[in-house]
Amino acid sequence: MNSNQPQALGSVIQGSLSEGLEVRLLPDISVEDMRVGKFLVVQGTMSRFFCLLTDVSLGTSNPRIFAHPPDHNDSFWLDILAGSDTYGTIEISPMLMLTLSDTQTENTFKFDNIPRLTGLETDLQLLPVKTIPSHFSPVYESTENDFRSVFGWEEDPQKCNFSIGQPLDMDVPVCMDLGRFVERSNGIFGKSGTGKSFLTRLLLSGVIKKEAGVNLMFDMHSEYGWEAMSEAKNGNTVKGLKQLFPSRVEIYTLDGESTQRRGVNNAHELYLSYDQIEIEDLRLIARELGLSEASLDNANILASEFGRDWIYRLINMTNEDVQIFCNEKQGHQGSIMALQRKLKRLENLKYMRSACPHNYIQEILALLDGGKNIVVEFGSQGNMLSYMLVTNMITRRIHSAYVKKAEKYLQTKNQLDRPRQLVITIEEAHRFLDSKIVNQTIFGTIAREMRKYFVTLLIVDQRPSGIDNEVMSQVGTRITCLLNDDKDIDAIFTGVSGASGLRSVLAKLDSKQQALILGHAVPMPVVVRTRPYDRDFYQEIGDSDWQEKSNDDVFAAADSARVDLGF
């Protein structure tokens, strides 16, 4: 079928704006061709409605047929009944309407009279749905032009569009506006094994290629930086961000031995020290360390007495030292000794030092200022204690620096002072954004602030129900693979209107390479077959013509930006 010759499927017979429309299919249209998530078009008198298919059902005009159904081998009776006494119906939810100007309202039932959006010029307005088409409005298969009308095209010079995949039944790119994507915090959700990691790698590749922002990725399982195992059963590997963008991505590792064993020879080792750990960092990992509120209260007493060296001093205290300190400073001996025992676990972390003369966090910030993307690998240190401690320590300080940079930009209004948009990617996000601790973590602050300080989150998680509702309501774009748990599905649609129809769409996704995308970066919800992450993608996305800059040049360019940051 020609992509510009849409096929008529049926007509609207009833419905409402809140509950969606019911469409009766034409006799020659098989109900088995109607798949949940399909993108359809309804042609009204003055507007064209873009809709999502949310349900499929069978109908009959005479209930007596149920009492005496024809034999399934009796093709004669089946053909007589089809389309008149028995028929198929579909439920569709209008998402957008394309409204014609007054000079275009005549003879609009003919598709040839609808301007095709092949360029930037058009008198059509793409608007949220605020009405519905009249009875018997025709419903059509969508065309390539329809998808371009709604989702644009990757080469659009006015937008930062990136092809994320294709619709379920067409070979047409579905584009996301990455400029809008990075403006807000976003989420990639799905149960284990549905391809969240590949979707994340795909999107980050697009952000880097389109220069929509810079990324700081906390790579818990070391699968985004250099390479990762393919989800295919052939045991092959796929390229990571450093291989795709060798001059735009830097890898930092908390476990240099693990990184070298995997054949990554150009990674930078990253070390942190006790004096960089603050009480707020310990509060986030209190559950992992088993710290009580009493221990944290006594940590404040120690920090007041010894300053930034309090952890090192505490770990090296004898029982007698603890007793003397408690007598002088009114600390609780039992709580301080318990705190000492539990903080000794930090001595087993490969990347932790008693003192660290080089400030690696400042180095990472300088690279981000210079346009580099950073992947922090954990290697054998990829346990929840290390992951939560390191991500919080680095993120808190970088966010603080961005706040100062944003305030300076607001004061000067000088575009040279404008911070680069930063996207921080975290896995196991429910650990940081649980309702019990979200108000105490930097990640909750970033999610609620949205774009105010040019820092947003990309949260990757298989348990969205574990994320605080207020945070979920602030998630701008949600890319969701298959979920089975009802609580997780409910969480995805927190703050989303018309969620009832979308629930059925999400529940019917395939377990691989399918996702429902809705929110700020796409004009309307859409189900896509995700773009393959293969050799063709490598050739399209790679940075073969990027001009390499040395780290020395990057640091020099960022010096002026770091002067006022207070490191």
Q: What is the CA radius of gyration of the chain?
A: 28
Q: CB burial class (10 A; 0-12, 13-18, 19+) of residue 84?
A: exposed
pLDDT of residue 123 exceeding 70: no
Q: What is the DSSP string of 140-208?
A: EE--HHHHHHHH--TT-TTS-EEEEEE-TT----EEEEHHHHTTS-EEEE--TTSSHHHHHHHHHHHHH
Whole-prediction pTM value? 0.85
pLDDT tens digit sequence for 540-556? 887 654 444 455 554 45
Q: Are 454 and 402 in contact (CB under 8 A)?
A: yes
Query: Higher confidence at residue 361 or residue 125?
Result: 361
Question: H-helix or E-strand containing 427?
Answer: strand 422-427
d(CA 258, CA 350): 11
pLDDT of residue 558 exceeding 50: no
Task: Reduce the DSSP state of residue 7 to 3 states and report it.
Answer: coil
pLDDT tens digit sequence for 368-412? 999 999 999 998 888 889 999 999 999 999 999 999 999 999 999
d(CA 478, CA 176): 12
- Residue whose C-alpha is closest to residue 423's, from 393, 403, 453: 453
d(CA 450, CA 479): 18
Q: Which residue has the tokens 């200022």?
A: 369
- Per-domain residue ranges for the chain? 8-151, 183-271+358-555, 274-350
pLDDT tens digit sequence for 190-207? 998 888 989 999 999 999
pLDDT of residue 358 exceeding 60: yes
Rounded to whole angstroms, what are the CA distances from 401 to 220, 396, 567?
24, 9, 8
Q: CB burial class (10 A; 0-12, 13-18, 19+) of residue 68?
A: exposed
pLDDT of residue 486 exceeding 80: yes
Section 437-448 average pLDDT: 85
pLDDT, mean over the chain: 84
d(CA 298, CA 314): 11
Q: What is residue 5's predicted lDDT score, i.e. its pLDDT?
A: 64
- Residue whose C-alpha is closest to residue 225's, from 185, 258, 194: 258
User: What are the structure tokens assigned to 418, written together?
Assistant: 């404008």
Rounded to whole angstroms, what are the CA distances from 528 to 34, 361, 514?
15, 38, 6
CA count, 13 A, side-chain hemisphere, 221: 8
d(CA 148, CA 50): 12
Q: Are 83 and 26 in contact (CB under 8 A)?
A: yes
Q: Are 295 and 339 in contact (CB under 8 A)?
A: yes
> Confidence band (pLDDT; 50, 70, 90) for 563?
very low
d(CA 58, CA 31): 8
- Residue whose C-alpha is closest to residue 243's, from 261, 267, 212: 267
Q: What are phi and psi of 558, to 5 degrees?
A: -95, -5
CA count, 13 A, side-chain hemisphere, 339: 29
CATH architecture of 183-271+358-555: 3-Layer(aba) Sandwich (3.40)
- Is the torsion defined by CA of 512, 93, 51, 202 positive or negative? negative
Give me the count of residues in the chain: 567
Laid out side by side, the sheet with 526-530 consists of: 174-177, 161-166, 526-530, 514-519, 477-480, 186-189, 455-461, 422-427, 214-219, 373-377, 249-253, 268-269
Strand partners, 294: none
